[in-house]
Amino acid sequence: MRFALTPEQNQFAETLDAVLAKSDVARPWADGDHTPGLAVWRRLAELGVTTIAQEGDPTDLVVVMEAIGFHALPGPAIETIAVLPTLLDGMSLGTVAIPPRVPYAVDADVADRVLVIRDDVVFDAECGPQVASVDPCRRLFTVTATTEVARLGNAFERGVLACAAQLLGAGRALLARSVAYAKQRAQFGRPIGSFQAVKHQLANVHVALELARPLVYGAALDAVDVSGAKVAAGNAAGLAARCALQVHGAIGYTRENDLSFWLTKVRALRSAWGTESIHRAQILTNLHPRKQSSPEEAPTS
């Protein structure tokens, strides 16, 4: 099966890139200044991004989340766009915890609505203490369920799909930055991108991302297991992160370099919405329904 975007989807993706490319909000968000980031979210809401999962083609969600991952836009994107759009008004940000696989609510301090889902039952929630995250733009909070408000099926699966798409976008961004830096940085009088070893690393990342991409879009169309898409996208993005660090050298570790925002984003998202162990166990269960999957582990993000 061949997955190709329509002309309308390509045009929409270009519009998103144009809007997000002008926004430099990750650093202020990490420093506690949410104003620039919230302004970008209002612009996205005006473009219909926050309701795309309800009104558009299933693959539209992947287009949106891939763009958000590529530009490292902070905020509860998965929750607002993929999981909770039917419970929001289109202009609001929402966040949710789905214990035990999603134990914390992301950016509950700025979300307009904080919820908890247990066994498809949705509860309003009260925000508790903040929990440390490896990603400075990903603020995690404990939450306590209060009043039942609705029922919502397949919320976790939609979150997994959106997370996979965001990882795919982040991996593409890391590859693009690595290629650009390899053309600029010189060693022994030559750009490091001219060395065969560097070319091989970048090529391996490109292949991994290209193999993961149809799985993510296939999962949007229910043609591929969403757990398989999450594992593939997470591994490809992880490979992109390792390659980016090697290409950039020591400067890639510094907080002053924006590369760190993608590196920490990938590290957090790989274990968010179910760790690789959980999803590999789910794949095994889907292939062999009679086999028992391993116990769920507590994710960290």
Q: Enter the pTM of the model.
A: 0.93
What lies within 8 Å, CB to CB, of 267 at 6+ separation is 134, 135, 241
pLDDT at 299 over 70: no
The string of pLDDT tens digits covering residues 217-243 is 999 999 889 999 999 999 999 999 999
Q: In the CATH hierarchy, which fold is given to the domain comprising 156-287? A: Butyryl-CoA Dehydrogenase, subunit A; domain 3 (1.20.140)
**Residue 54: per-residue pLDDT:** 87
Answer whether the bond into residue 289 is a cis peptide, omega within 30°. no
Domain extents in the chain: 156-287
Amino acid at 196: Q
Amino acid at 282: Q
What lies within 8 Å, CB to CB, of 90 at 6+ separation is 45, 50, 51
**Residue 22: per-residue pLDDT:** 86
CA–CA separation, 93 and 214 (whole Å): 29
Q: How confident is the model at residue 4 (pLDDT cuts 50, 70, 90)?
A: confident
The string of pLDDT tens digits covering residues 73-86 is 999 999 999 999 99
The string of pLDDT tens digits covering residues 236-271 is 999 999 999 999 988 877 878 899 999 999 999 999
Q: Please state the rounded mean pLDDT for residues 84-98.
A: 96
CA–CA separation, 240 and 218 (whole Å): 22
Residue carrying the six token digits 């991302």: 209
**Residue 272: per-residue pLDDT:** 96
Short-list 3, 6, 87, 98, CA closest to 50: 87
For residue 81, with 0-12 CB atoms within 10 Å meaning exposed, 13-18 middle and 19 or more buried, which class applies? buried
**Residue 296: per-residue pLDDT:** 53
Give me the phi and psi of 105, to 5 degrees please: -95, 130
Q: Please state the rounded mean pLDDT for residues 8-24.
A: 92
Mean pLDDT of all residues in the chain?
92
CA–CA separation, 58 and 223 (whole Å): 12
Cross-strand bridge partners of residue 125 = 145
